[in-house]
Amino acid sequence: MERWMEEDEEAREIRRKHADWKFIEEQPEPLRSALKCFVELGDLYLAAKIAEMGIDEFNQLRIRAKIPIVI
């Protein structure tokens, strides 16, 4: 369990570090909140739901925000 928590935190830090925060902050709600949710949780499905977008559409937004998918 502790190992998973460490891996989650490492992934979160990578997403935070690489994200284009200027781009994210310029987005209207709910897109801004969805992008921040993705940075924190890495859950593409949940973030797309918050953004009221399909997964593919949100994934394109994620790419523009330079948020990596960390596996």
Q: Look at residue 28 and tell me if it is in a domain.
A: yes
Q: Look at residue 32 and tell me if it is in a domain.
A: yes
Q: Look at residue 70 and tell me if it is in a domain.
A: no
Could you give the number of structural domains in the chain?
Answer: 1
Q: Which domain holds residue 8?
A: 2-64
Please report which confidence band the pLDDT of residue 71 belongs to, taking 50, 70 and 90 as the band edges: confident
Q: Look at residue 71 and tell me if it is in a domain.
A: no
Question: Using one digit for the tens of pLDDT, what is the confidence trace for 24-49?
Answer: 999 999 999 999 999 999 999 999 99
Under a CB-based contact definition with an 8 Å cutoff, are residues 36 and 51 in contact? Answer: no
Q: Look at residue 17 and tell me if it is in a domain.
A: yes
Q: Look at residue 8 and tell me if it is in a domain.
A: yes
Q: Look at residue 54 and tell me if it is in a domain.
A: yes
What pTM, to 2 d.p., does this model score? 0.94
Q: Look at residue 53 and tell me if it is in a domain.
A: yes
Cα torsion 63, 22, 26, 15 to 10°: value is: 40
